Structure 1
Amino acid sequence: MLYDYMNVLESVGLDLLFAAIFFLIGMAIKDVLNQANVPPFGRRIVWLVLFLGCAGFIAKGIIQISWEGTGL
């Protein structure tokens, strides 16, 4: 039974791993920004770059799902 769903479990586990990594990176960046007294403009740039990285990862997942649905 579990072997039948191995691909689904692997896919969900990998997505959860990436989400946890993004969360931990965000917490580390927040800590570094607070300790370094970075000005507000610099903080916004750092968070924008982190957000764009997450958005790119999500876009990749959506594109991958749509291509797999069409048979590419």
Structure 2
Amino acid sequence: MLVEHLELIEAIGLNLFFLFIFGFIGLSIYDVMNRNDVPRMGKVVVYFVLFLGCAGFIAKGIIQFIWESQGVG
């Protein structure tokens, strides 16, 4: 049973790892910006860039899922 689903378990684990890493990076950035009194516009730009990184991984996952379901990859 475990050997049959090893690839799925690895994919889920990797996605959870990325979720944890992005969350940890977000909390670290939040702490650094609050300690240094960063202006509101600077915070918006930093969080937007962090969001774009997360959105890239999400888009990659969706594209990969679609391609694999159609037999492309």
TM-score range, shorter chain: over 0.9
- Tell me the equivalent position of 1:37: 37
Q: Which has the higher helix share?
A: 1
Q: Provide the TM-score with structure 2 as the length reference.
A: 0.95
Q: Which structure is higher in RCO with an 8 Å CA cutoff and minimum separation 6?
A: 1
Segments of structure 2 that go 5 or more residues without pairing to the other structure are none
Gaps of 5+ in 1: none
Shift of 1:60: 0.6
Q: Secondary structure at the match of 2:38?
A: coil
Q: TM-score with structure 1 length normalisation?
A: 0.96
Q: Map 1:8-27 to 2 at 5 A.
A: 8-27=8-27
When the two chains are superposed, the root-mean-square deviation of aligned CA atoms in Å is 0.6
What code does the residue aligned with 1:40 have?
R
Pairs aligned (count): 72
Separation in structure 2 between the aligned mates of residue 5 and residue 41 of structure 1, nearest angstrom: 46
Query: Moved runs in structure 1, 4+ residues, more than 3 A?
Result: none
Residue 46 of structure 1: how far off its partner (Å): 0.4
Q: Percent identity?
A: 53
Q: Deviations over 1:3-61 (max 9, x none)?
A: 11101100100000000000000000000100111000100000110111111110110
